[in-house]
Structure 1
Amino acid sequence: MDLDGRRVRTHLESGLDRLGVRSRLRRLYWALEVPSVLYRLSPRETIVHEIDGHRVEFPTTAKWQYERFRFMHPEYELFEELSEELAAGDVFYDIGAHLGWHAVVAAAVVPNVTVEAFEPHPAAAAGLREVVAATGHDIRVHEIALDETNGTAEFTAEPTPAARLSTAQPEALHSTIEVETATGDHLVNDSVIEPPDIIKIDAEGADAAVLRGLEATIDAYEPRVIYCEIHVDGEEIREFLTASGYEYEPVFSSRPVLRATPA
């Protein structure tokens, strides 16, 4: 039986917290470059995580893949929900895909799901394409930031999971690159993407702007579920969902995520 790294890590961290040694061991962990050692010792080219009875495979050939995918993602509960909500033939938007956790899960747990993954940072998008190629799933990668306007915008230069548009949060970015922006409505109207059945949004503070850029599409096609992570624009997100005829509730997750469905 495969061990679930997420659960093992949670129990281990809780025990170390009780002993009061977690912070010291964390510093030692990084000082000794333990992830690099584990990667060199690991013979695997892939790792398999179980999601709601489905075996979902991720590549671990490169060191960054090993570090990203060796433990289960904190949003395991959201993955289980996706497994239950998605149906064959659905169109799933992964907005803020980064390296592909949600996109790969969506493509793996149900057959014939169209996955549209949006990742504006060139380096992260390149990594996402590597992951997609390794898994063999039919995931379309769009190197673009969904927003409420079409054009270009400044974006965090470092391709971290917290990378964002400069307008997404009040704190200024120290180093930026320019990325392409587009509204979801524009892409749907131009038949670049199909209308969505399920949407996941994690845009690091630009989440309400993403929704505003999808307003006509949401009004016309009424996606079955919208998952939206809350960063700094929670009030705007809730107002938009209510005005669009959706009711919402928090998802049991390690992060503040709303699950919205038509009222």
Structure 2
Amino acid sequence: MKFNLRGNADSWFWKKWLRFWSNLGRWFSPTIEVSDGNMRFVFCPKSRNDIFRYTTYFTKEEGTLAWIRDNAKEGTVFVDIGANVGLYSLYTANAARKIRVYAFEPHKFNFATLLENIFLNGLENVIQPISLPLGDKAGLMDLNYNSMDSGTSMTQLGHRQLPGNCEFEPKLSELVHAVTLDELVASGRVATPDMVKIDVDGNELRILRGMQEVLRSPEGPSSLQVEINPGQRQEVMRMMKECNWKLDHCHFTKGGKVEFERTQSYDKVPHNAVFVRD
């Protein structure tokens, strides 16, 4: 059946029809509330990825949450690069008073959910969402989408390789303007961070190359967590050492712990490395 919506939009039938579909959307958009006993968050999942992230909020990356709790204090400036739907930005925003969070997420569907999560949890005056992709240089590049779903990962900037050098065919490629963190901090649009979290599905080295001035500055961050994928560890360690940083500790996701117990190799299992000033 085909309807001419424009011709019938003011009719009694179409008003009832549109009201029905509007209500249906609300009925089938359940709200999820999660709490660890100290913090409480509200979410409206858009995909299975979202549901998984929300329901494993406090168990998937316990090491990341502990790192935030141990380092975030009153007045901390936190830069979250690869914020996805904003779980760790929200957690940090609630960790202490007068915190300022900059949440970077270029994937448009993730970013839309990030915006909603900030609003639903009343943190619009604490978290600054930024959809600009970060890299090692400024300029126009292709942002290649591995998935169009909210809560997804593995979006790649300027290339079509997943971690492990596996080629993929993008669902969609978007022309975007990439910038460096050094550029944003120097311009004053982003405050000098005290803490930096980097989780960008294999693009971590490019991010680090684009924030050399921030890393070397005496006024720069005191703690940095970066995800290290297979084949990256040696180069990340070298780069951080050159900037006078040292490894403090490493931790895994819940699934990564199982894989590390099997392989006993940091070079084969993605993990989070926490660095401090040397």
Compute the TM-score of the two structures, normalised by the length of structure 2.
0.73
Please state if 1:164 is matched with 2:156: yes
Task: Name whichever of 155-164 and 118-127 sits farther off.
Answer: 155-164
Counterpart contact for 2:81–2:196, Cα < 8 Å: yes
Higher radius of gyration, 1 or 2: 2
- State, as a whole percentage, how many aligned pairs show the same letter: 21
State the partner residue of 1:219.
216
State the partner residue of 2:174.
177
Q: Give the letter aligned to residue 166 of structure 2.
A: E
Please state if 1:259 is matched with 2:274: yes
Secondary structure at 2:167 match in 1: coil
Aligned mate of 1:118, from 101, 104, 112: 104
Give the deviation of 1:136 after TM superposition.
1.0
Please state if 1:191 is matched with 2:188: yes
Q: Give the letter aligned to residue 196 of structure 1.
A: P
Q: 2:29, 2:169 → 1: CA distance?
A: 39
Give the deviation of 1:239 after TM superposition.
0.9
Q: 1:252, 1:67 → 2: CA distance?
A: 20
Give the deviation of 1:111 after TM superposition.
1.7
Counterpart contact for 1:120–1:144, Cα < 8 Å: yes
Number of equivalences: 222
Q: How does 1:90-169 map to 2 (within 5 A)?
A: 90-137=76-123, 138-157=126-145, 158-159=147-148, 160-167=152-159, 169=162
Counterpart contact for 2:29–2:45, Cα < 8 Å: no
Which structure 2 segments of 5+ residues have no match?
A: 1-25, 257-270
Q: Give the letter aligned to residue 137 of structure 2.
A: T
Q: How does 1:241-260 map to 2 (within 5 A)?
A: 241-254=240-253, 255=256, 256-260=271-275
Counterpart contact for 2:198–2:225, Cα < 8 Å: yes
Secondary structure at 1:240 match in 2: helix
Counterpart contact for 1:222–1:262, Cα < 8 Å: no
Q: How does 1:78-93 map to 2 (within 5 A)?
A: 78-93=64-79
Task: Name whichever of 146-155 and 167-176 sits farther off.
Answer: 167-176
Give the deviation of 1:251 after TM superposition.
2.5
Give the deviation of 1:63 after TM superposition.
5.5
Q: Deviations over 1:75-125 (max 9, x none)?
A: 122102211210110100100011111111111121211000000112211
Q: 1:62, 1:124 → 2: CA distance?
A: 10
Counterpart contact for 2:73–2:95, Cα < 8 Å: no
| Alpha-carbon distance change, 174 to 114 in structure 1, aligned in 2, over 3 angstroms | same
Secondary structure at 1:82 match in 2: helix
Q: 1:43, 1:132 → 2: CA distance?
A: 17
Counterpart contact for 1:44–1:61, Cα < 8 Å: yes
CA RMSD of aligned residues (A): 2.4
Counterpart contact for 1:47–1:70, Cα < 8 Å: no
State the partner residue of 1:29.
none
Q: Deviations over 1:173-220 (max 9, x none)?
A: 312322321100100111110010000001111111111111011211
Which structure 1 segments of 5+ residues have no match?
A: 1-39
Q: 2:246, 2:99 → 1: CA distance?
A: 25
